[in-house]
Amino acid sequence: MSTQLISSIRVGIAGVGTVGTSVVNILRDKFSTFEQQFGVQIAISRVVVRNIDAVRNCDLTDVVVGAELMELSTAEDVDVVIELIGGVEESLALVRESLRNGKAVVTANKALLALHGDELFSLSKEKGVPLLFEAAVGGGIPIIKVMRESLAGNTIHCVAGIINGTCNYLLTRMANEGAKYQEVLADAQKLGYAEADPTFDVEGIDAAHKLALLTRLAFQQSIDFSKITHFGLADIITDDFSIVKKMGYVIKPMSIAKQSSKGIEIYVFPALVSQATLLSHVNDVTNVVQVFADRLSSINCVGPGAGGDATASAVVADLVEIVHAIHNDSLSSVYTPQLDERKQQAQMVDFEETEHAYYLRFQMEDKPGMMKQCASILERFDISIEVLNQNEPKDGENTVSVALITNNVRERILQQAFHEIKKLSGCCSENSSLIRVFQI
C-alpha cells in the first residue's frame, strides 16, 4: 500500500455479527476522536455479510453492503480488511489474498491463526503489511500487546489461564447455582459468547487455538495444533462441584503451556484450582492469562474474554495501531510474530509423559475392604493419597463417594491405576471422575 497520498483510511469489514456489529458501533462513536488524534479520517467503505437483507444493529449508512467476500481483498476503496466471519477455509482465502494485495489485516480468528499462522505471518512479513490479532485471545484483554512488547526483557517459561469465556461461564453457573449444562450453554449462545459451533468451546478446541497462539508468542516457536491435548467439560459430574469445594478447590477450564526439560508441555483441561488463588475467583465470562517469566516472576491479565463489545475493543485497538503506522509512514515496521531461527518447530512433550496431581472420585459399595483395595492398587503404582474425602451414604443407598487427591504422577501410570480401580467389584465405574489439579 502506498502511504504517501493517504489522508483517509478505508476499512472493509467481513462479518457484521456479534463482533462486527460492535466494531461498526465503536468506530461510528470514535470517528471524530480518531481524526483529531491521528489527523487521518477513518471510514468504513464496505462490509460483507452472508445475508445482505438482514437487519443489523448498527448504522451502515454510506457503506457498500455486499455478499462477495473476496471483493474486499481487491477493492480499490479498502486499505485495511477486518476479518470477523470466523471459520477457516473462507477466512484463509480472504486474509491470504488481502495480504498478497498489500492490504493490512485485523482478525479475531484464533482457529485460522492456530492452523495457518505460519503461512499467514510469513506472508505478512514478506509483503510488509501487518496481520494483527489482539481479539483472537482473551477477548478484550490486551494480552498480545503485553506479550509482544511489555515482556520483551523477559524469558517466559509458562503461560497459563482461563481463556474460554463460555466454559468459565458454564462451570461458574453450574457450581454456584446448580444450573443445568444445556440451559447455561443456551444462555452463553444468546449472549454471543459461544462459537458458531459451540462444541469448539465445550471440547476445549477454542482454548487450544488460543493457547497455540500464546505459546507461539511465549516461545517463538511454531506449534503443531494437532499435537495439543484438549479435554472438554463432558466428564464433569454435578456431584464433583460440591465435593471439591469441601476439599478447598473449584473447577476451572485451564489452558497451560510450559517449557520443561523435555520440551513444551501444552494442554487444555478442566482442573481443580485452589480456592486460595486469584484464578479461583475469575468467574463467568471473565478470562485470565498468567505469564511466568524470569525477570518479573509472574503477571496476571484479567478481563472480559468474550462478547461483542469487549472483543471489538481489541479489534479497534489493532486498527488504531495500523492507522497510526500509516500516518507515520511506517506500516512495514508494525509487529509480526517472529520464530526463533534456531528452533522453529516446537518439540512438544507427549501428554502421557506429563505429570500432574489428580482428583479421583469413585462411587463404591459401602462394605468393609473397598477402600483398602483401592489404596492397595494406588500403592502398587507408587501413587500416594494426599487428601481423602469420604461421604456417608445418602438415605436408602448403600454406596459411598470416595474422593482423593494424589501426589504428582505421570499421566500414563495414573490412567492404568484409575482403570484398575474402576474394575473392582463394588465400584460403579460409570460414576467416577478424574480431574487434574492445576499447579505450576
Question: Closer to ligand HSE at the Cβ: 192 or 331?
Answer: 192
If residue 264 lies in a helix (H) or strand (E), which one and from where to where?
Answer: strand 263-274
Considering the rule CB under 6 A, would residue 55 count as an interface residue with ligand NDP? no
**Min. distance of Cβ 74 from ligand HSE in angstroms?**
29
Q: What share of the chain is helix, strand, coil (3-state, %, to 5)?
A: 40, 25, 35
Q: Is 203 in the site for ligand HSE (CB under 6 A)?
A: no
For ligand NDP, the binding residue among 20, 161, 204, 303 (CB under 6 A) is 20
201 binds, among ligand HSE, ligand NDP, none (CB under 5 to 8 A by kind): ligand HSE
Query: If binding is defined by CB under 6 A, does position 161 make contact with ligand NDP?
Result: no
Task: Give the Cα-Cα-Cα angle 224, 226, 230 (nearest 5 degrees).
Answer: 115
- Looking at 83-91, 98-106, 326-334, 403-411, which segment touches ligand NDP (CB under 6 A)? 83-91
Q: Does 91 bind ligand HSE (CB under 6 A)?
A: no
- Beta partners for residue 405, in sequence order: 359, 387
Longest dimension (CA), the chain: 85
Among 83, 134, 203, 206, the residue binding ligand HSE under the rule CB under 6 A is 206
Burial pattern 55-74, b for ≥16 Cβ within 10 A else e, equals: ebebebeebeeeeebebbbe
Burial class from Cβ neighbours inside 10 Å (0-12, 13-18, 19+) for residue 52 reads exposed
Distance of closest approach, residue 200 Cβ to ligand HSE, in angstroms? 7
Q: Which of 139, 204, 270, 308 binds ligand HSE (CB under 6 A)?
A: 139
**Pick from 21, 45, 164, 259: which binds ligand HSE (CB under 6 A)?**
164
Sequence-ordered alpha helix ranges (H) in 12-88? 18-38, 71-74
Contacts of 414-419 with C-beta under 8 Å, sequence gap 24+, read 414/356, 414/358, 414/381, 414/383, 415/352, 416/381, 417/377, 417/378, 417/380, 417/381, 417/383, 418/358, 418/360
Binding mask 170-199 for ligand NDP (x = CB under 6 A): ----------------------xx-xx---
Which spans in 203-358 are helix H?
A: 205-219, 238-246, 308-327
164: partner contacted, choices ligand HSE, ligand NDP, none (Cβ within 5-8 A by kind): ligand HSE
Angstrom distance (rounded) from CA 352 to CA 257: 15
Q: Which amino acid is at 150?
A: S
Within 10 A of 429 (CB to CB), how many other CB atoms are there?
12
* Using rule CB under 6 A, residue 90 touches ligand NDP: yes
* Cα 439 off chain centre by: 19
CA–CA dist 152, 145 (Å, integer): 10
Residue 384 in contact with residue 327, Cβ under 8 Å? no
Contact pick of 34, 121, 133, 193 for ligand HSE (by CB under 6 A): 193
Residue span binding ligand NDP (CB under 6 A) among the ranges 5-13, 45-53, 167-175, 229-237: 45-53
| Binding of ligand HSE by 306 (CB under 6 A) | yes
Residue 137 corresponds to which cell in the numbers above?
485471545
Query: Nearer Cβ to ligand NDP, position 119 or 386?
Result: 119
CB of 314 to ligand HSE, least distance (A): 10
For 100, list phi and psi in degrees, rounded to 5.
-55, -35
Under rule CB under 6 A, residue 18 binds ligand NDP: yes
Of 13, 104, 174, 194, the one binding ligand HSE by CB under 6 A: 194
Catalytic residue set: 210
Radius of gyration of the chain from its Cα atoms, rounded to whole angstroms: 24
Residue 51 interacts with, from ligand HSE, ligand NDP, none (CB under 5-8 Å by kind): ligand NDP
Closest to ligand HSE by CB, 117 vs 139, is 139
State the residue number with the nearest CB to ligand HSE. Answer: 166
Residue 267 interaction partner, one of ligand NDP, ligand HSE, none, beta carbon < 5-8 Å per kind: none
**Nearer to ligand NDP among residue 306 and residue 405 (C-beta):** 306
**Helix or strand run (H / E) with residue 174:** helix 165-177
Rounded CA separation 54/59 (Å): 13
Q: How far is the CB of 53 from ligand NDP (least distance, A)?
A: 9
**Considering the rule CB under 6 A, would residue 321 count as an interface residue with ligand HSE?**
no
* Binding-site partner at residue 196 among ligand HSE, ligand NDP, none, CB < 5 to 8 Å by type: ligand NDP
How would you class 413 by CB atoms within 10 Å of its CB: exposed for 0-12, middle for 13-18, buried for 19 or more?
A: middle
Q: 375 exposed, middle or buried (CB, 10 Å; 0-12, 13-18, 19+)?
A: middle
Q: Closest separation between CB of residue 26 and ligand NDP, Å? A: 14
Interface with ligand HSE (CB under 6 A), residue from 79, 134, 195, 265:
195
Indicate the residue type of 163: I
Which residues make up the interface to ligand NDP (CB under 6 A)? 14-20, 48-51, 54, 69, 84-86, 90, 108-109, 135, 139, 192-193, 195-196, 306-307, 311
Which residues make up the interface to ligand HSE (CB under 6 A)? 139, 164-166, 193-195, 201, 206, 305-306
